[in-house]
Structures are given as C-alpha cells and as structure tokens.
Amino acid sequence: MTTAVTIPRHGDTGGRTAVAARARQVVKAYGAGETRVVALDHVDVDIVRGQFTAIMGPSGSGKSTLMHCLAGLDTVTSGQIHLADTEITGLKDKKLTQLRRDRIGFIFQAFNLLPTLNALENITLPMDIAGRKPDAAWLRQVVETVGLAERLKHRPTQLSGGQQQRVAVARALAARPEIIFGDEPTGNLDSRAGAEVLSFLRRSVDELGQTIVMVTHDPVAASYADRVLYLADGSIVDEMRNPTAEQVLDRMKDFDARGRTS
Amino acid sequence: MTVWKTSMRNFLAHKGRMALSAVAVLLSVAFVCGTLVFTDTMNTTFDKLFAATSADVTVSPKAAEVTDVPENGKPESLPASVVAEVAGVDGVKKAEGAVSSMAVTLVDSRNKNLGSDTGAPTIAGNWTDNDLRSMEITSGHAPRGPTEAMIDADTAEKHHLTLGDEVRTIAVTGDIKAKISGIAAFTVTNPGAAVVYLDTATAQQKLLGAPDVFTHVSVTAEAGVGDTELKKSVAAALGDPAAYKLQTQKEAADANKDSMGSFLDVMKYAMLGFAGIAFLVGIFLIVNTFSMLVAQRTREIGLMRAIGSSRKQVNRSVLVEAVLLGVVGSVLGVAAGIGLAVGLMKLMGAIGMELSTKDLTIAWTTPVTGLALGIVVTVLAAYVPARRAGKVSPMAALRDAGTPADATSGWIRAGIGLVLTGGGAAGLWAATRVDEASEGSLYLGLGVVLSLIGFIVIGPLLAGAVVRVLGVVVLRLFGPVGRLAERNALRNPRRTGATGAALMIGLALVACLSVVGSSMVASATDELDKSVGTDFIVQSNTGQLIVPQAADAIGKVPGIEHVTNYKVLAAKLTNPDGSTADEHVTAADPTYPQDLRRETVAGDLEKAYGADSMSVGSDYAALHKIEVGDELTVAFKAGDTAKLKVAAITSDDTSVDQGAMYINVTTAERHVAADRMPGNMIMFAAAEDGKEKEAYAALKSSLAAYPQYKVQNQADFKEDLKDQIGQLLNIVYGLLALAIIVAVLGVVNTLALSVVERTREIGLMRAIGLSRRQLRRMIRLESVVIALFGALLGLGLGMGWGTSAQKLLALEGLGVLEIPWPTILTVFVASAFVGLFAALVPAFRAGRMNVLNAIATDG
C-alpha cells in the first residue's frame, strides 16, 4: 500500500536535502502470533522540508505511532527512518536522546510544560539541557511571534490552555530544530485558541521556513497544512495538497463510509 | 464491607509503596521487641543463676552487702560457732560455713588477668555442698590444701588452663599461689563471672583475714520443711536479730537480682528510648506515605464521593489501609525482634558475657506490646492524611489532578511553629541562666522538646528558604539539571519538610551528643591541665581497691619523689548546725595538694592535712553554714568517732574531686583500726626531676604482677578519658543509626512516590532531550537537597541543644564549650551521600521509564 510520493527537488537550501524525514517500509507491530497487532504496515513517507504536513486518520489508524517512530520516540519493528541524512532506526537511546534534543521539537496535546519552571525557562529548557546558549535575537523574535513577551515570568498554572500551548510552540521553535512534531497540539483547546496556535504554526512555516509534522483528527486543523496524509489500518491511503477544511471533511466522510461498507 | 474491599485492593495495589513504610514499622517494633526479649532473657538467666546459687536459708552478718566490694577488701564475717548453732536447729538438715569474696583478682602464671572484662565479678571462696546446686566438678577434685585451687570451666576454657597449671589469687591480705586441682562447670548459664575455689582454711585466712570465720552459713532444710519456716526457727535459735541477716532462697535470689536490676533497667530503658526515637521518625515516614497516596488518589476519591461514598467511608478506608500496614509491619517486626535479641545475645557472647539461647524468654506481653505499638502508631500517623482524604470534594473527580496550595494553613502553621520554636529557644536560653542544675534540666528538656516540635511544624516553611540557599551554593554547579532538582524539592515544601524532619531528629541528637561529648573531653582536659600536678596515676581497671602488696611495690620504685595514698571512708557527719549527713571522707597524704591543685574558698588546704583537721567542699559548707574553724563530728563507719576541725573550704567549681572532704591518712589511721582501713582507691606518684621516663617504666614493671591496675601518665590519662567518652558516644551513635536508617527509608519513599507522580513530566523531559544520565542526576540532586536540608536543620538544632546543655552542665564542672566541627562537617557531608544512596533506586527506576508510556495521552 504505497502511495506515490513525490520527491520534489525544489527549495533545496544550504546543501540540506529537501526531505526532512523519510520512512521506508516501516513496520511497527505489537505482540506475536495470534495476538499480533500491526500498527504500521510497510509505510513509506517523505516529509518535505519547509512544509507543514498533517497526518490524519481515525483512532487506531496508526497516526500517532507513525509520528512517534519518525520522531525517534518509539522503535520500529522493521524498516528505516532517516532524519535528513541520519538513520535513526537502530540508534541507541543516548544518541536518540541527543537527536531529539538538538534536532527535533515537540508539541504535545497536554502536559507540555514543566509546572516548576516559568514560561521562559520552559522555552529554553531543551537548550539548557544541552548546555547551549539560546540565540537571544531569535528567542526574542520567537517570543514576539507567539505573543508571550508579557508572560515570560509566569508559571504554567498561571497561563490559560491556549497560552500554555503557545509556550510549547515557542519552545519547539526556539531551538531551531530541523523538524517539529505536534501530537494533536490543539486537541485540548477551544476553537479560538486552537486557531491562534495553528496560525502560529502556519506562520512559522511561511516566515521562518520551519518544517512541521502534526497529527490531528480535526479537519479544521488539517486545513492549515500544506499537505495532508491519510492513514488507515497502518497504511497511508491518500494524500491531499493545499486542503481546505471542507475538502478534508469530505475526504474523511468518504473514508468513514468506505470503512463501514467494506 | 465495601470499605474493607476497597482498602484491601488499594493496599495490595500499592504494596511496593507500602513496603518502605512497613519496613519502618518493622524496624521500630523489632527494636522494642528485641529489647524486651533480650532483657527478659537476661533476667531469666540471672534468676536461674541466683536461684541455683542460693541455699534454702542463708545466714550472713547484718552489715553484709550483696555486691559492694568491702572498703577494706575483707567481707563482713561471722564466727564459725554460728554454723554449729544453726546445725542444731530443728528442721535443719545441714548447715555449712561458706566463704565468698569478690575483692579478689585471679591471674595466671604469666600475670594475665583471668577475670571478665565486661564488669562481671571474680569470686573466690571455699567449695561447699551448696555449690553443687549450680556446679559440678568435671575434672580433678576440689582443693584439699593451701596449694590447690579449683576454677570454673568457662574461665579454664577461655584461658586454656588445665589441671596442674598455676593460678594466683590476689587478695587484700596477700597473694595465694596454687595449682589447679579441679575444674567445675556451671550447670546453669553463667554470664561471665570467673570463680576460684580455695580450701576452707586458706579462704578464711586469706580472704577474711582470720581463722574460724565465715561470710555466711548455707542452711539446707530437711524434707518437708519450708524455707520461711526454717528461717523462723533459725532466727529464733540465733537470738539477737540485730547481728544476723537471714534470707530464704527466694529472698537471697531477689536481693542478688536487685543489685543487677538497676543495670538491667538502665540498659532496657536506654534501648527503649532509642526505639522510641525510631518510632518518632517512622511516624514521619508513614504520614508522608499516606499523604502522597491520598494526593495521588484525589481523583479516585473524588469519584467515590461523587457516586455516593460518605466522608466517613473514605476516611475509614484510608485508616483500614493503615491498620493493614500496621499489622503487617508489626507481625514481621515481632519476629525480627526475636531475631535481634538472639543476635544481641551472640554479640554479648563475643565480648565475654555468655547468654544461652536456652534461656530465651518471650513473655506474652512482648508480642502484644509490639503489635499494639506498631498498629496504634501507624493508625495515628495515618489519621491526618485520612482526614484530608475525607475532605476531598466530589468535584475533584472532574478537576485536573493537582494539589491546591492552602495559603491560610501555611500562615497558621508559621505562627504556631514560630511560637513553639520561640518557646524552645527561650527554654534553652533559660537553661543557661539558672544556678541550680535540677531547675535548669527542666528548662533544657522543655527547650529541646519545644524547639524540636517547632522545627517540625515550621519545617515546610524553612524548606523553601533552605533549599533556595542550598540551590545557590550547591545546585547551581549542576546547571539546568540542578535548577530542576531545586524546583522539584521546592514543589511540595510540606513533603520536603516532613522528609527532611525525619532525618533532622536523628542528626540533632547526634550533633547534641557530640557537642556535649567533646565539651566533656575539652573540659576535663582543661581541668586536668589546670589542676593535675602529678606525673603518674595508678588505679584499677575494674574499680577494685589497690591491694597493699601492690601499693608496697609502687612505694619501692626508684626515681619516685613521692607517692600519694588516696582512700575513701564512709562516715556519718554531724555538722555544727546539728544536721547529719552520710558522706564519704577522702583520706590522702599531705602530698596530695601537689598532685591535684585545688582552689580554696577559705582557709588553707595544707592545714587540713594537720592532725584532726579536715576540709569540706564549698557547696556543703554553704548548705550547712560551715566556716573555717568549725568542728565536725565524723563517725567513721569502720572505726570510732572523731571531732575534726575544718581548716579549709575547697571550691566546688571543678569536675575533679568535686565536693571531696579531705583528711590526712594519719588522721584516719588514728580512728580506724589497721585491719579495717580501706585500701587505696587510687594512687599518685611524682617522679624525681628528669627521671620521668625511667620512673614510668619502673612503675609499670613494678605492677607487672598486678594486671588489674593500670599506670598512666597525664597524656595516657587524657587519651583514656577521650577514648572512654568516644566509645560511649559510638554506642549511642550506633543506636541512633536506627533512627537514621528509618529516615533514609523516608527519603527513598518520598522520591519513589515523586517519580511515580511525575511520570508525565519525566516523559516530557525525556522527549525533548533530557538524557537518562541527566534525569538520574536530577533525582539524585533532589535527594541530596532534601538530605542536606534535614542535616542542616538537625545539626543546627543539635548544636543549640548541646551548647545549652554545656552551659547548664558548667554548673557541674563542664566549663569548656567545644563544638566538634570536624564531626559536624563530616556528618553534613555524609548526609549528602546518604541522599545519593537514597536516590539510587528511584533514579534508576525513573531512568528506565518508557518515554512513550509517560507521554501517551490516549490509548
């Protein structure tokens, strides 16, 4: 079940490949024998640099597992995953941790921030852990972009859900990772706050050239992406470029209907 | 029923987390039960021993003491004629004259002391049929003449002695050299006394100083005659009730045991005291565990409340869990306690006090006490968390988990804590200001208790400040990981406070005792430097008096400028104001003031050594309004009554010889017959100028035949003093280690539960790039901070207590305050390592945590 994936060569900058992350024949299975469950079934996917990619699919389709594998949080049963030129499948925990710290940014649905640190400390945490000094000008720009300049000294408990997620976005951007993974980053937000966060993500792609991969089941969220990948039963079954919310919703309904009839 | 079920399930679900609390209960209960079993077993051992050694009825002189070594080294005796008199009484099957003395030392041919070095006595006597009740001759025969002796099998075995070997019994009248003719084994447990039997005539002559006298008569009843009945008829036959003391077997055994009793009681209560401290520390652990469990379960409890559980039911379900914990911990604790008692008995065996596991005594009260204590303490400790659980609102089920900070209770807490701490500080300060030690100790005790409780109450508030300071000093070295650790330690100050407080208690006691201990050494050294002029000090290792033959040997040593005799005589004093007092008078040679310089308040100390003169201490003089020139009536217990003129009043501001009343030895000799004159308690010697080294060696070799005495120069004496205090402190530290172990379990528990609570955060941090190593370091640092917090508070508090105690004890001569900084610093640094150690397992487990499980939000 391989989708034709274009490997565009345009927009290649600074000697870096245009593909930020690449999965080849990735299989992720749990259990063995009778109880074997295949979460990812020979998935091939290329994440294009400088694009906003959304991964959609019903519950249990394997969309979160795919993201976890791409981000080096989970191991694969077989297949290869590359982050730029680095093969991350088979890396030891120590190397993987370093890779996540230095080259990947994360935005989770909830529990994104450490309650003991204030907003600014949370934003610079990955760099602090790595022992790197944040680039002050860049940090200021990021903070301004997400509109948090006034609230940097606040603890997470003093921030609203939307503000917390914006801090998480700022943290992901601040270290200038090669790629940011979002796991339902707006799942816990009301539509207004969600829209805010999504437009930040969009802007960071447009204005800062950031690469973003986001798992979501919300068609509206997916409509912010350049490209939507549809997962079902562990395989990529379709993709859509420059989607609108209506198109995504229609496609989803389509899958749902097919799922029921088959 | 449902409450029971939920509690049971919760208990089992959290058995890992309960385990550490159970260990704390177990340790405390084990210590209590171990102490009880051990002391009961000792009691049984002595009961059996004394029951076996006492005759049906014992007749002894009225003045005979049970165990006190007689002043003149010769026990009170009664004439041999009494034996025949008693033998003629109706109902008497047999009456035997017996000799027994504990004022002896037994040495082998190489001058090695064969006696116990644990304080058990060496007993010399004649062999009588009564001894067959507790011993049997296993080889050879009882002594048949002055050159034969029989010793007990334990001593023979310990020192590899066999028949024909020579032993020497050193008595006050001279040495008795004899060959071992027999070895007799105890048929009951002998906890360590060395026993030597001589033939009756030798025993009488050498131990009692006269022929035809005995120390007591062992009376055996005819069949069918009761001990009490027999005692009555013997008493009637002997007439004069003032002359003799009659005891039935039971009375004699009880009297003997009473003399042991105080020693056993002191030991028992000291050990129970330490068990109490362990319990106190355990309470913190239990409170913390239940608080954390309740906090973690807030949502669950909210749900229970929402679906209709009453407050009471929730409350009760937590308490039932506590009961389960208490039962499990206590049952295991009782078992461990018995094991501990057996271990202690083996340990006592290793240092020479033989106890047999055959006598192992487990009174029914022991397990009952252990269980009751364990369960009650656990439930009491869980009470506050249980109440908090009951207060969880049903809304908690709907809210995000998280502990809301209650600011008001913080202020109330601060207020109460400050008042208590202030009260404690005032008590400690007052203790340094009083003139009477007894009054001061009350203030001191109050100060210690109040300041301890105050610190415990205020601990969570102090945690904030102290952890921040530690953060600046220590944690900043570790960069962002250090900062995270600091924030984590600060996150729940109540938890950090309680965990640290547990460690604080043990360390406060350590610090206090080490301050008092080193102040004791420093004060004594200072006092010795100021007051001791003598070159050499001779005294017994076991508190025995110096026999004349040893004193003579010292007198003949070349290069000695003078030797000072020093004897202590019991006397009844009648003061000029008409009051009387039982006191001890020190009879010394006039050279004594050179050996020990004393300050005088009035008069001239040298004149006190004049004929029929004396000196008194300033406290005594003040109490009885005695002035120089007054006359005191001194009735010597061992002699006649003298009227002595007070020629000097010595200052009692000293720790050496405080309150001593001095007379010249010659004055004592005029009023006490030579054969009643006590031996020297201690002797001093001064070397001729420039001959110190030779004199020291000569003195030592002159006493080679008397291994029970040690010769020390000033340096040795100080070192000895230091060692003795050091050893005592080490024992106390060892016992306090129990409390510290329980406190460490508390740190482990807190960390383990915190790691579980923070699963999500840990997952997040790992996802965004915190390495395992950094994560483990973060947890270790948090642990170190908690430990250092406890140490800082504990050491600070303890030094305060110690300083206050020293100021109070200054009244008793503890004039110099010395804070043992090396010890304090070592303990502080060591507690950092304790923190590292406590974090080992929690950190390891956090490192092993699966990142995905930690961050997964949906299934």
Would you call A129 an interface residue with chain B, using a CB distance cutoff of 8 Å? yes
CA-to-CA distance for B180 and B137, rounded, in angstroms? 12
Cβ neighbours of residue A4 closer than 8 Å, sequence gap 6 or more: none
Count of C-beta atoms within a 10 Å radius of residue B8? 14
Contact across the interface for B772 and A125, Cβ inside 8 Å: no
Superfamily of domain A51-72+92-261: P-loop containing nucleotide triphosphate hydrolases (3.40.50.300)
Q: What's CA B178's distance to the chain center, in Å?
A: 39
Contact B205, B220 (CB under 8 A): no
Q: Which of B479, B484, B765 sits opposite A131 (nearest CB)?
A: B479
For chain A, the three-class secondary structure string (H helix, E strand, C coil) is CCCCCCCCCCCCCCCCCCEEEEEEEEEEEECCHHHCEEEEEEEEEEEECCCEEEEECCCCCCHHHHHHHHCCCCCCCEEEEEECCEECCCCCHHHHHHHHHHHEEEECCCCCCCCCCCHHHHHHHHHHHHCCCCCHHHHHHHHHHCCCHHHCCCCHHHCCHHHHHHHHHHHHHHCCCCEEEEECCCCCCCHHHHHHHHHHHHHHHHHHCCCEEEECCCHHHHCCCCEEEEEECCEEEEEEECCCHHHHHHHHHHHHHHHHHC
Average pLDDT over chain B, rounded to whole? 86
Closest to B485 in 3D by CA, of B767, B760, B851, B787: B787
Please report, for residues B72, B419, B525, the alpha-carbon distance to residue B521 in angstroms, rounded to integers and kept in the order given: 33, 35, 6
Region B304-329: mean pLDDT is 85
Query: Which pLDDT belongs to residue B67?
Result: 47
Distance from CA of B297 to the nearest CA of A (A): 19
Distance from CA of A130 to the nearest CA of B (A): 8
Contact across the interface for A114 and B765, Cβ inside 8 Å: yes
Q: pLDDT for B62-75, tens place per residue?
A: 776 554 556 677 88
Closest to B82 in 3D by CA, of B98, B66, B67: B98
Distance from CA of B21 to the nearest CA of A (A): 28
Does pLDDT of A202 surpass 80?
Answer: yes
Q: pLDDT for B251-291, tens place per residue?
A: 888 888 887 777 778 888 888 888 888 888 888 888 888 88
Contact B96, B130 (CB under 8 A): yes
Would you call B772 an interface residue with chain A, using a CB distance cutoff of 8 Å? yes
Contacts of A117 in chain B (CB under 8 A): 484, 487
Q: Is the dihedral of CA B615, B621, B627, B631 positive or negative?
A: negative
Query: Residue B443: phi, psi to the nearest 5?
Result: -60, -40
Q: pLDDT for A155-182, tens place per residue?
A: 888 888 888 888 988 888 888 889 999 9
Is the ipTM value over 0.90, yes or no?
Answer: no
Confidence of residue A13 (pLDDT cuts 50, 70, 90): very low
Ranges B56-70, B288-302, B394-408, B541-555, most confident: B541-555
Query: Which pLDDT belongs to residue B405?
Result: 47
Please report, for residues A58, B357, B828, the alpha-carbon distance to residue B346 in angstroms, rounded to integers and kept in the order given: 71, 9, 34
CA-to-CA distance for B562 and B556, rounded, in angstroms? 11
Contact across the interface for B484 and A117, Cβ inside 8 Å: yes
Does pLDDT of B734 surpass 80?
Answer: yes
Query: Which pLDDT belongs to residue B64?
Result: 66
Count of C-beta atoms within a 10 Å radius of residue B2? 10
Does pLDDT of A54 surpass 90?
Answer: yes
Would you call A217 an interface residue with chain B, using a CB distance cutoff of 8 Å? no
Please report, for residues B22, B430, B443, B445, B804, the alpha-carbon distance to residue B440 in angstroms, rounded to integers and kept in the order given: 40, 7, 5, 9, 10
Which amino acid, B682?
Answer: I
Q: Is A201 exposed, middle or buried (0-12, 13-18, 19+ CB in 10 A)?
A: buried
Does pLDDT of A2 surpass 60?
Answer: no
Higher confidence at residue B347 or residue A8? B347
Dihedral of CA atoms B407, B412, B415, B416 in degrees, nearest 10, equals -140
Render the burial of A47-61: b for 16+ CB within 10 Å, e for the rest.
bbbbbbbbbbbbeeb
Please report, for residues A139, A142, A153, A175, the alpha-carbon distance to residue A135 in angstroms, rounded to integers and kept in the order given: 6, 10, 19, 8
Q: Which residue of chain B is at minimal alpha-carbon distance from A67? A: B852
Query: Which pLDDT belongs to residue A8?
Result: 40
Distance from CA of A87 to the nearest CA of B (A): 18
Contact across the interface for B767 and A100, Cβ inside 8 Å: yes
Q: Under DSSP, is residue B844 helix (H, G, I), strand (E, B) or coil?
A: helix
Query: Which pLDDT belongs to residue B397?
Result: 64
Ranges A258-262, B530-534, B701-705, most confident: B701-705
Contact B237, B112 (CB under 8 A): no
Would you call B480 an interface residue with chain A, using a CB distance cutoff of 8 Å? yes
And the tokens for B652? 């009692």
Query: Which pLDDT belongs to residue A211?
Result: 93
Distance from CA of B851 to the nearest CA of A (A): 7
Please report, for residues B19, B25, B322, the alpha-carbon distance to residue B330 in angstroms, rounded to integers and kept in the order given: 13, 6, 12
And the tokens for A94? 């120590």
Q: Which of A93, A97, A116 sits opposite B488 (nearest CB)?
A: A116
Does pLDDT of B858 surpass 50?
Answer: no
CA-to-CA distance for B399 and B613, rounded, in angstroms? 90
Contacts of A97 in chain B (CB under 8 A): 766, 769-772
Does pLDDT of A12 surpass 60?
Answer: no
Distance from CA of B763 to the nearest CA of A (A): 10
Query: Which pLDDT belongs to residue B244?
Result: 86
> In chain A, where are the structural domains located?
51-72+92-261
Does pLDDT of B859 surpass 50?
Answer: no
Contact B333, B27 (CB under 8 A): yes
Contacts of B768 in chain A (CB under 8 A): 100-101, 105-106, 125-126, 129, 171
Contact B424, B452 (CB under 8 A): yes
Does pLDDT of A45 surpass 50?
Answer: yes
Contacts of B479 in chain A (CB under 8 A): 128, 131
Contact B493, B417 (CB under 8 A): no
Q: Under DSSP, is residue B177 helix (H, G, I), strand (E, B) or coil?
A: strand
Confidence of residue B780 (pLDDT cuts 50, 70, 90): very high
Q: Which residue(s) pair with A28 in the sheet? A: A40
And the tokens for A46? 């290329």
Region B458-485: mean pLDDT is 84
Contact across the interface for B491 and A115, Cβ inside 8 Å: yes
Cβ neighbours of residue B309 closer than 8 Å, sequence gap 6 or more: none
Please report, for residues A235, B8, B378, B459, the alpha-carbon distance to residue B372 in angstroms, rounded to integers and kept in the order given: 64, 21, 10, 30
Distance from CA of B785 to the nearest CA of A (A): 16
Count of C-beta atoms within a 10 Å radius of residue B657? 18
Contact across the interface for B769 and A116, Cβ inside 8 Å: no
With a pLDDT cut of 70, the percent of chain A lying above it is 91
And the tokens for B208? 């009692």
Contacts of B765 in chain A (CB under 8 A): 114, 125, 129
Q: Under DSSP, is residue B743 helix (H, G, I), strand (E, B) or coil?
A: helix
Would you call B766 an interface residue with chain A, using a CB distance cutoff of 8 Å? yes
Kindly calculate the radius of gyration of chain B based on its CA atoms and give it in whole angstroms.
34
Contact B712, B683 (CB under 8 A): no
Closest to B770 in 3D by CA, of A122, A169, A128, A178: A128
Would you call A111 an interface residue with chain B, using a CB distance cutoff of 8 Å? yes
Contact across the interface for B769 and A109, Cβ inside 8 Å: no
Contact across the interface for A128 and B765, Cβ inside 8 Å: no
Region B88-95: mean pLDDT is 88
Distance from CA of B774 to the nearest CA of A (A): 8
Confidence of residue B570 (pLDDT cuts 50, 70, 90): confident
Q: Which of B484, B488, B767 sits opposite A73 (nearest CB)?
A: B767
Confidence of residue B854 (pLDDT cuts 50, 70, 90): low
Question: Angle, nearest 10°, between helix axes B493-531 and B772-809?
Answer: 40
Does pLDDT of A51 surpass 60?
Answer: yes
Contact across the interface for A100 and B768, Cβ inside 8 Å: yes
Q: Is the dihedral of CA A83, A85, A86, A90 positive or negative?
A: positive
With a pLDDT cut of 90, the percent of chain B lying above it is 29
Contact B605, B593 (CB under 8 A): yes
Does pLDDT of B608 surpass 80?
Answer: yes
pTM passes above 0.90: no
Q: What's CA B239's distance to the chain center, in Å?
A: 45
Element housing B410 (H / E)? helix B407-431
Q: Which residue of chain A is at minimal alpha-carbon distance from B847? A: A93
Q: Which residue of chain A is at minimal alpha-carbon distance from B758? A: A114
Please report, for residues B53, B318, B321, the alpha-carbon distance to residue B309 in angstroms, rounded to integers and kept in the order given: 68, 13, 17
User: How would you classify the pairing of strands B600-603 and B682-687?
Assistant: unpaired
Give residue B404's region: left, alpha or beta (phi > 0; psi -120 to 50).
Answer: beta
Cβ neighbours of residue B159 closer than 8 Å, sequence gap 6 or more: B108, B112, B114
Q: Which of A93, A104, A113 sits opposite B772 (nearest CB)?
A: A93
DSSP state of B495: H
Q: pLDDT for A114-133, tens place per residue?
A: 888 889 988 988 888 888 88
With a pLDDT cut of 70, the percent of chain B lying above it is 96
CA-to-CA distance for B82 and B95, rounded, in angstroms? 9
Contacts of B771 in chain A (CB under 8 A): 94, 97-98, 101, 129
Contact B74, B213 (CB under 8 A): no
Kindly calculate the radius of gyration of chain A based on its CA atoms and give it in whole angstroms.
18
Please report, for residues B21, B370, B740, B776, the alpha-carbon distance to residue B499 in angstroms, rounded to integers and kept in the order given: 13, 25, 12, 20
Contact across the interface for A117 and B487, Cβ inside 8 Å: yes
Q: Which of B481, B491, B769 sits opposite A116 (nearest CB)?
A: B491
CA-to-CA distance for B831 and A220, rounded, in angstroms? 57
Query: Which pLDDT belongs to residue B781?
Result: 92
Confidence of residue B833 (pLDDT cuts 50, 70, 90): very high
Region B66-86: mean pLDDT is 77
Query: Which pLDDT belongs to residue B837?
Result: 92
Q: pLDDT for B16-51, tens place per residue?
A: 777 878 888 898 899 889 989 998 888 888 888 888
Contacts of B480 in chain A (CB under 8 A): 125, 128-129, 131
For residue B297, the number of C-alpha atoms closer than 13 Å in the C-beta half-sphere is 25
CA-to-CA distance for B244 and B230, rounded, in angstroms? 15
Query: Residue B239: phi, psi to the nearest 5?
Result: 70, -120
And the tokens for B436? 């009477």
Q: Which of B768, B852, B857 sits opposite A109 (nearest CB)?
A: B857
Contact B122, B106 (CB under 8 A): yes
